[in-house]
Amino acid sequence: MRERLIVLIVPPGLPGTTANHEGSATLGAVEPTAGAFRYPPHTVAATAAALRAATPRAAGYDVVVIDAAEMDAATCVAATLSATPSLVGVFVSWATREGDALLLRTLRGESRLIVPVVALGVSTRYMQEWLQEADYLLVGEPEGSFPALCDRLLSSDVALPRVVDPAMLGVAGYDADGLLTDLDALPIPAWDVLPVERYAALSVLSSRGCEAGCTWCPYVVAQGRRYRACSPERVVAELVEIVGSYQPRKIVFRDPVFAHDRERVAAICRLILAENALQPGKNLTWECESRPDHFDSELLQLMSLAGCVGVKVGLETTDADVLVQEGRCVAREDVPAYLQRVRALVADCARLGIAARLFVLAGLPGQSVAAAQQTAAFVADLQPDTLTVKPLRDYPGLRSSGAPMPAPEAVAEQARALEAAWPSIAGNNQRTPRWRRALARLVARGRYALGRARGESVAGRVSVAGEACPLCGEPATRLLYTLPDFRVFRCPRCALVLRDARPNADEAAAMYDDPRYVESDLFANWHADYDEQSAEVRMFEAALDRLGQATTPGKLLDVGCAKGLFLHLAQKRGWQPYGVEISRPAAAFARQEFGLEVFNGTLEQAQFPPESFDVVSLWDLIEHLDDPFGFLREAARVLKPGGIIVILTPNHDSLITRMAYLLYHASARHFHKPLDLIYDYHHNWYFSRQTITRALQQAGFGDVLRVDGMGAHVSRWQDVVRYPRVLEWGADALDLVTERFGGAYRMIVYARK
């Protein structure tokens, strides 16, 4: 027996299976085939590092790790005996308990092994009957307590009970549940004791615990509901060590909710970009996992820049009743926003070259096969990069909603229904192909190099906080762009863009009552003798065609109807037209020129009875309003059930906007004219397809029927805002491309109540 040598064993699975001890936060998982995917044994590597370090009572230990995934129990035992250890630790998990028990029986069957055998891992508290051959069971997270237990067993005559917890050992840094309280105090895992070449990736566990209340989640059972995290500096130090020593193909953050603390993730990304030893996309690529609502476009962009190539999220189901019943959503009205966040996340990942990996569950309490089919249809429409269908596992300690569990045959049928989405995803030849990810990494490195060449400190950038986001409630929006008269902010959670110093209602009314507004070239064609080939007439006629396909002519209300041209065209098609217009001269013109019924004021002031109209339209209006969200609620109130709202507004996610920002940053913030034009002085809000959809859903609208792209048509602004003619030519060319292929400067959104 070698003095002070500890052997740590990761037991093999049963024949024909793969034991994944690190799966489900170390409660484990078993795949029914040999050689399947498994996470590297992070807990064992971290425990080995702690054993090597000096403890208060003794010097560090020598450590041998046997990852027996490719062995049988007898071969594993033979390797253990040949090492002549002074103590053996066996890493166990609930899902792998049969294989773990077999290894312990085989180990104890060898009479030559007379040293203590300790079963360790958070699953031990649930496995006493399966671990009869172990001398001791160490409960709780073992990284800090296992070295102390080794000290006691190898150097003390004081008897210990068979089931030991950190409190019995007097180990500091643990809570009453045996969970570590200071993750920064842990040493960096000792991956050198493991065959790292076997693993597709190495792992980092930068935070533990989840404060959400999902009943199906084993992470909360294993790690608790208190969120605990390493500091950004500690995380990046670990990345530097892993990349420098092991050159892994990829790093996987095994945090259950990596992006729970948005500021911590942003700080990690900035430190990665500032660290010379890390080259995102070259020697560092990584993936992470979190809830869909933890990500937003801005954070994903920063993560991509820092080397993120994959994001895993659990959609689980689209069944609203199940999502609320099982604790994923608080209330039924939260479900549309949750599903929209998933949709936006997949779209953002595709744009940034990040692989979107979606997980769904079969066998949720109360879930039907029809609900599983509905989820499959939603996933097929999303087209994520990968889809993983998991049957709900009955881990010990899970919270229960009390809903009945489906029978095994129903679970299998649900799984088949969910897997039906996979062929359409696989047939898409991967939403984010390898070349797209490589291009995204190349762009990230270029942006990083450009910032360094300009002498910028990426780690030291500070975001200026603005007001709370009225769409999602984020406490502070972040500065995006500064103009002489106002600043533009973006919400880090939902990506809504807004300005400060918005004009009040009296200022807006005075502006629109100015005769110069009505007489401007913007409305030069708004009269009875209109040009049928003009851009606005063609736009209005196309919209009326869309409405004709979705519903029959009825009562149509145009809010912000200006001089009434759209209402006049609608009337010619059999619609009963009504208008609301804040400008007195414009309202008077519409009445006199077209004989229309127009209320002079706001929609709220008009006080129409509930369910008065079949269609409500607003053309270039919502971005001007002081409270567009209250307006949408009022529009929903006056619409009949099944009624349609039509909204034309600039699209902040347009190609023109993106190019304007690219030119702005590439010129070291000197070429700002395009952005000055995009952030029009009269606009208070700048919506994207995702944010306008979320606003509509929160106001009571259901399905977004379609979104059509419209060009900028900047020539119509030439007499209002002077700019170089070359910008007009470039914008006209972009109009032709974006209207056909997506990313148009303006969007027409059709949604049904």
Helix 584-594 with 565-572: angle, nearest 10 deg: 30
> Is 278:439 a contact under the CB 8 Å cutoff?
no
Helix 97-109 with 73-82: angle, nearest 10 deg: 50
| Cα–chain center distance at 361 | 18
Among 348-357, 506-515, 692-701, the range of highest mean pLDDT: 692-701
CA distance 707 to 345: 18
Residues 113 and 226 in one domain: no
The b/e string for 506-540 (b: 16+ C-beta within 10 A; e otherwise) is eebbeebeeeebbeeebbebbeeebeeeeebbebb
Query: How many structural domains is the chain composed of?
Result: 4
CA distance 59 to 61: 7
Q: Which domain holds residue 321?
A: 200-435
- Residue found under tokens 């700048």: 686
Identify the CATH number of the domain in which residue 60 sits. Answer: 3.40.50.2300
Residues 726 and 597 in one domain: yes
Binned at pLDDT 50, 70 and 90, residue 98 comes out as very high
Alpha-carbon dihedral sign for residues 55, 60, 64, 65: positive
Binned at pLDDT 50, 70 and 90, residue 4 comes out as confident
Residues 616 and 683 in one domain: yes
Q: Which pLDDT belongs to residue 736?
A: 65
CA distance 37 to 30: 10
Q: Does 191 fall in a domain?
A: no
CA distance 3 to 32: 39
Q: Does 114 fall in a domain?
A: yes
Strand-pair category, 685-686 with 497-499: antiparallel
Q: pLDDT digit string (tens) for 177-229?
A: 999 999 999 999 999 999 999 999 999 999 999 998 799 899 999 999 999 99
Q: pLDDT digit string (tens) for 114-149?
A: 899 999 999 999 999 999 999 999 999 999 999 999
CA distance 376 to 393: 20
**3-class SS of residue 391:** strand
> Is 684:629 a contact under the CB 8 Å cutoff?
no
Residues 495 and 518 in one domain: no
Which residues on adjacent β-strands are paired with residue 361?
Answer: 390
Q: Does 10 fall in a domain?
A: yes
Element (H, E) at 100: helix 97-109
Q: Which pLDDT belongs to residue 403?
A: 82
DSSP state of 404: P
Q: Does 277 fall in a domain?
A: yes
Residues 400 and 481 in one domain: no
Q: Smallest Cα–Cα separation from 535: which of 739, 741, 743, 724? A: 739
Q: CB-based contacts of 621: which residues, under 8 Å, 6+ apart? A: 559, 560, 649
Residues 675 and 529 in one domain: yes
Residues 491 and 507 in one domain: no
Residues 603 and 700 in one domain: yes
CB atoms < 10 A from the CB of 407, how many? 10
Strand-pair category, 62-67 with 555-559: unpaired
Identify the CATH number of the domain in which residue 250 sits. Answer: 3.20.20.70
Averaged pLDDT for residues 413-424: 88
Q: pLDDT digit string (tens) for 332-351?
A: 999 998 999 999 999 989 88
Q: Which pLDDT belongs to residue 447?
A: 55
Element (H, E) at 228: strand 228-229
Task: Give burial (CB, 10 Å; 0-12/13-18/19+) of 108.
Answer: middle
Q: Which pLDDT belongs to residue 184?
A: 94
Tokens describing residue 156: 């003390």
Share of the chain above pLDDT 90, in %: 63
CB atoms < 10 A from the CB of 442, how many? 13
The amino acid at 14:
L
CA distance 324 to 573: 45
Whether the predicted pLDDT of 458 surpasses 50: no
Please report, to the nearest 10 degrees, the dihedral formed by the alpha carbons of residues 365, 366, 369, 370 taken in order: -140
Q: Which pLDDT belongs to residue 56?
A: 47
Q: Smallest Cα–Cα separation from 697: which of 139, 612, 78, 689? A: 689
Whether the predicted pLDDT of 722 surpasses 60: no
Q: pLDDT digit string (tens) for 727-752?
A: 556 666 666 666 666 678 889 999 99
From 420, 435, 450, the end of a domain falls on 435
Task: Give burial (CB, 10 Å; 0-12/13-18/19+) of 486.
Answer: middle
Q: Does 207 fall in a domain?
A: yes
Whether the predicted pLDDT of 429 surpasses 50: no
From 417, 435, 453, the end of a domain falls on 435
Nearest 5°: phi and psi at 32?
-80, 10
Q: Does 245 fall in a domain?
A: yes
Strand-pair category, 639-650 with 746-752: antiparallel
DSSP state of 130: G
Averaged pLDDT for residues 48-55: 85
CA distance 163 to 84: 25
CA distance 297 to 340: 13
Q: What are the start-end ranges of the E strands in 657-731?
A: 685-686, 704-710
Within 13 Å of residue 722, how many CA atoms lie on the same side as its CB? 0
Binned at pLDDT 50, 70 and 90, residue 537 comes out as very high
Identify the CATH number of the domain in which residue 507 sits. Answer: 3.40.50.150
Residues 510 and 614 in one domain: yes
Strand-pair category, 386-391 with 478-482: unpaired
- Window from 212-216, 281-285, 514-518 with minimum mean pLDDT: 514-518
Whether the predicted pLDDT of 632 surpasses 50: yes
Residues 538 and 574 in one domain: yes
Residues 231 and 97 in one domain: no
Q: Does 447 fall in a domain?
A: no
Mean pLDDT of the chain: 87
Q: Which pLDDT belongs to residue 131?
A: 95
CA distance 229 to 232: 9
From 413, 435, 457, the end of a domain falls on 435
> Is 658:695 a contact under the CB 8 Å cutoff?
no
Residues for the chain: how many in total?
A: 753
Residues 492 and 512 in one domain: no
Q: Smallest Cα–Cα separation from 619: which of 689, 562, 548, 696? A: 562
| Cα–chain center distance at 188 | 28
Binned at pLDDT 50, 70 and 90, residue 445 comes out as low
Q: pLDDT digit string (tens) for 224-272?
A: 999 999 999 999 999 999 999 999 999 999 999 999 999 999 999 989 9
Task: Give burial (CB, 10 Å; 0-12/13-18/19+) of 567.
Answer: buried
Q: Which pLDDT belongs to residue 731?
A: 61
CA distance 340 to 688: 13
Q: Does 193 fall in a domain?
A: no
Q: pLDDT digit string (tens) for 365-410?
A: 999 999 999 999 999 998 899 999 999 988 998 877 778 888 999 9
Largest CA distance in the chain: 105
Tokens describing residue 649: 């507004």
Q: Smallest Cα–Cα separation from 384: which of 439, 342, 437, 435? A: 342
Q: pLDDT digit string (tens) for 160-190?
A: 999 999 999 999 999 999 999 999 999 999 9
